[in-house]
Structure 1
Amino acid sequence: MTRPARPEDVDEICAALPSTEFGTSWGDVPTWKVPAGAKGRGFLLYRKPGPTAIDPRTGERYQDLLVIMTSSLADRASLVEDDSTPFFTIDHFRDYNAVLVQQSRLGELTLEELTEVIHEAWLAVAPGRLAKEFLADGQG
């Protein structure tokens, strides 16, 4: 039986992926990176509230945004344009392979859907060898 995704699932899913570490990027933005170490690239960021991310319904800054990498702009578009998902983008990210989602809306996804999106984000930035091993193990 599937269950709705929860904010605490994010760190559990990321930590279970090979060679990941939780650190910072873009100065002090909490970020999950792969591979662990100095060459790590971010695949999921906890975005801080800022003037470029305003909720159009309330006019307030989003307080709970995740930035999740995608493998391409086309993959981003397919997630954003699917009305059944809570994913969206903002003008600030128009040229980035990433989607945004509010942690407060993760329950609109199943745990399996959230896991798939995070796995795809990890695969989008993981070194080729690591990605091949992960896929060969039947995890991706």
Structure 2
Amino acid sequence: MVTLDEAAELARRLPETVEGESRGNRTWSVGGKAYAWERPFSKADLKRFGDAPVPDGPILAIRVGDLAEKEAVLAAGRPGFFTIPHFDGYAAVLVQLREVRLPDLEEALEDGWLVNR
């Protein structure tokens, strides 16, 4: 389990990272582009889950290089990584902080940071 503050600290360690806020949620960017952001579920997102369990706790969205990389990240089956229909066709994955392993989150944040470099 990783807390949002721990995730924020990992992101801030990456060179030239700027922590900000968008729509009341924390974001981390480099070169003026966000590579990770806090991503609570909207009402529409929750509706799409239907009867399926909704991942709880803080959720981060993290950019990946492209859709092939997104598929590879998801196919790896690492705990905490998932997507939702709203992110179809978008090069980013979602990460449930209560389930992710710290080294996996650290790697994903660094990869997201590299996308914007």
Structure with the largest fraction of strand: 2
- TM-score, length-normalised on structure 2? 0.82
1:50 and 1:61 in contact (8 A); partners too: no
Q: Distance in 1 between matches of 2:70 and 2:7?
A: 19
Contact 1:23/1:31 (<8 A) preserved: yes
Root-mean-square deviation (CA, aligned residues, Å) is 2.1
* Structure 1 ranges of 4+ moved more than 3 A: 60-63
SS at match of 2:28: strand
Matched-pair contact (CA < 8 Å) for 2:57–2:97: no
Instruction: Tell me what 1:119 maps to.
Output: 110
Give the structure 1 partner of residue 24 of structure 2. 28
2: CA distance between counterparts of 1:77 and 1:123?
18
Structure 2 residue matching 1:105: 3-state secondary structure = coil
**Residue 22 of structure 1 aligns to which amino acid in structure 2?**
E
Distance (whole Å) between structure 2 residues aligned to residue 114 and residue 21 of structure 1:
18
Report the counterpart of residue 63 of structure 2 in structure 1: 69
- The residue matched to 1:53 in structure 2 has which SS? helix
Tell me, in whole angstroms, the C-alpha distance in 1 between the residues paired with 2:39 and 2:27.
9
Segments of 5+ residues of structure 2 without an aligned counterpart are none
What is the Cα deviation at residue 86 of structure 1?
Answer: 2.3
Distance 1:30 1:97 in 2: 19
- Asked if 1:42 is matched to 2:34, the reply is yes
Secondary structure of the 1:117 match is: helix
In structure 1, list runs of 5 or more residues that go unmatched. Answer: 127-140
Query: What TM-score, normalized to structure 1?
Result: 0.70
Instruction: Kindly state the Cα deviation for residue 80 of structure 1 after the two structures are TM-superposed.
Output: 1.1
Q: Do residues 93 (structure 1) and 87 (structure 2) align? A: yes
- State the 1:96 CA deviation: 1.0
Instruction: Between the two structures, name the one with larger relative contact order (CA 8 Å, sep ≥ 6).
Output: 2
Q: How many percent of aligned residue pairs carry the same amino acid?
A: 28
1:57 corresponds to 2:48:
no
* Paired position in structure 1 for 2:72: 78
In the aligned structure 1, how far is the partner of 2:81 from the partner of 2:44? 17
Aligned length in residues: 113
